Amino acid sequence: MNSVRPDLTRRDIIKLIASYNNNHMRGFDLQGVRLDNEDLSNLNLSGFNFTNASLKNCNFTGANFRSMASVAFKNADVTGAFFNEAHRQYLSEAIGVDSVSFV
């Protein structure tokens, strides 16, 4: 798994995720990143690690989490985020799941 440099901006991280989807690279370690209010819908996020990340109000509907363990969201704040019902299994260790919208 590739680690993300700490000096990357939010925009850089979003571009990195888009590049991952275009080039079919392996996942990235995004521990502790802040991506509040981002639209991450319909992206392939398999292999990404969002441990301790802030993902408040993000849209994950239609995202592919295949082969992603629940630990990938350990202590991630997903307050107010949107997920598909099938994603629920990946959020067992996340924070703010009681305010998540499952569609």
C-alpha 58: how far from chain center: 9
Domains of the chain: 2-102 (2.160.20)
Per-residue pLDDT, 83: 97
pTM of the model: 0.84
Provide the CB-side half-sphere exposure for 47 (13 A, CA): 12
d(CA 92, CA 22): 29
pLDDT in tens, 43-94: 888 888 999 999 999 999 999 887 777 779 999 999 999 999 999 999 999 9
The pLDDT value recorded for residue 35 is: 92
Bridge partners (DSSP) listed for residue 83: 102
CA distances from 8 to 11, 27, 60, 78, 101 (A): 8, 16, 22, 21, 29
Residue 8: pLDDT over 90: no
